[in-house]
Amino acid sequence: MSEIRYKWKKYDWWIYCVIIAIAVFVILYYAYPNTDQDNARYILSAISQGLAAILALVFTITLVVSQMTRRYTAMDKIIFRHETILLMIVFGFGVVTPLLVLKRGFWGQSVNLSIAVAVFCVFSLLPFLKGVNRVLKYEFGVNALYREIMVAIESGIEENIDTGELTEIGERAVMEAPENTVVTIIRFLSQIGKKCAEKGLGDETYWVVYKLSDIGVKSVGKGFEEASLFAATGLKKIGVVAAKIGLTSGLLDDPALDAIDGLENIGAKAAEKGLIGTTIRSVDGLKDIGMAADEGTNEGTRAKYIAVNGLWCLGAFVMKYLPEQFNHVIKKLKEMEKEIGKEALMSWRKNCISDYPNLKSSFEEFKRRYNER
């Protein structure tokens, strides 16, 4: 279903161009069934010359864009893609048809047809340029930004690390790109966030975690199970590293805590959507980050508390939407119990239902089954 939705978004502007061209032809057919020959010659000549000039401009733009990428595959992905070839064919048809009409003298509806084709060619520049932008952004831009950011991290100069553009592209990709593109961006962000955490870059790690959580939740909303699965995996890896070293941030919150919040939000929404894999991965991530946090520090204790509280909350969600998976959540809570003790585990669940009052009955049922083990 997501692929069908993406293909419609990809080609909807082309369809609109066809509809506009047909509408123009129908209007001309009924409003101006015949065109004076002198006027027809001028119109056909102007159409042919105008479209030829636009075609040359379009080809120049695509060639310049291809050269800007400095990639050997740019010609294949920009100039020789299906949309570009189709546009060139239609433009060629639009240029040649008026000349044939002038040569043969087939007036009648040939003039109206030439005008309709010209209208399609002009309006088709918008979806064509959107397509070029999509290729430039997702095929080349994402990889270039990833390499630049990783080089900046390795250099250790924090001022050179700018993940804002890549995260912005990731947010847009969820809305307008296929799932495999979203997966690629999520994987890049996960690697960047983990590397930042390992280097002790708290602010940069926090920002990546914050945006990765947002992209993960939006991926669940779009039904992108693979993308949301990778988002949960990335948050787990970043959160574990941040929790182990007690990484802090000068921004609003700490990376480990935000990774826990992100996993809880992704897992809760995934359970509602019936995405089992993403829900389970979020549960595992909460447990792993909670286990990695150092209870000897205030930040570590807080991380364990929030992780345990998140597990109880996801237990309620699983009990309501994926009841066949509640044993997995119980298993992870039991592992946490060995780490912090049953008293702390049970006391840290109190704030769960205050955030999700509609899950009270599911939470009580999950708690009952936990106590039976």
> What was the pLDDT predicted at 373?
77
d(CA 278, CA 183): 13
181 with 3: CB under 8 angstroms?
A: no
Residue of 116, 118, 109, 120 whose CA lies nearest to 29? 109
Averaged pLDDT, 194-212: 92
Q: Is 70 exceeded by the pLDDT of residue 168?
A: yes
322 with 274: CB under 8 angstroms?
A: yes
Averaged pLDDT, 241-257: 83
**pLDDT bracket for residue 8 (50, 70, 90):** low
- Largest interatomic CA distance in the chain: 95
> What was the pLDDT predicted at 4?
52
> What was the pLDDT predicted at 351?
72
Averaged pLDDT, 30-36: 73
Q: Is 80 exceeded by the pLDDT of residue 260?
A: yes
> What was the pLDDT predicted at 296?
66
Averaged pLDDT, 236-258: 86
Query: How confident is the model over 104-158, as pLDDT tens digits?
Result: 766 667 888 888 989 998 898 888 888 888 888 888 889 889 999 999 998 877 7
Averaged pLDDT, 231-255: 87
Q: Is 90 exceeded by the pLDDT of residue 332?
A: yes
Domain boundaries, the chain: 2-128, 163-372
**pLDDT bracket for residue 318 (50, 70, 90):** very high
d(CA 77, CA 142): 15
**pLDDT bracket for residue 5 (50, 70, 90):** low
Tell me whether residue 143 is exposed, middle or buried, using C-beta atoms within 10 angstroms of its C-beta: 0 to 12, 13 to 18, 19 or more. middle
> What was the pLDDT predicted at 10?
63
Three-state SS for 252-311 is CCCHHHHHHHHHHHHHHHHHHHCCHHHHHHHHHHHHHHHHHCCCCCHHHHHHHHHHHHHH
Which of 92-96, 264-268, 324-328 is predicted least confidently?
92-96
Of residues 349 and 310, the one with the higher pLDDT is 310
**pLDDT bracket for residue 270 (50, 70, 90):** very high
Q: Which long-range contacts (CB under 8 A, 24 or more apart) does 144-151 make?
A: 145/169, 146/188, 146/191, 146/192, 149/192, 150/191, 150/192, 150/195
Q: Is 70 exceeded by the pLDDT of residue 349?
A: yes
Instruction: Give pTM, 2 decimals.
Output: 0.83
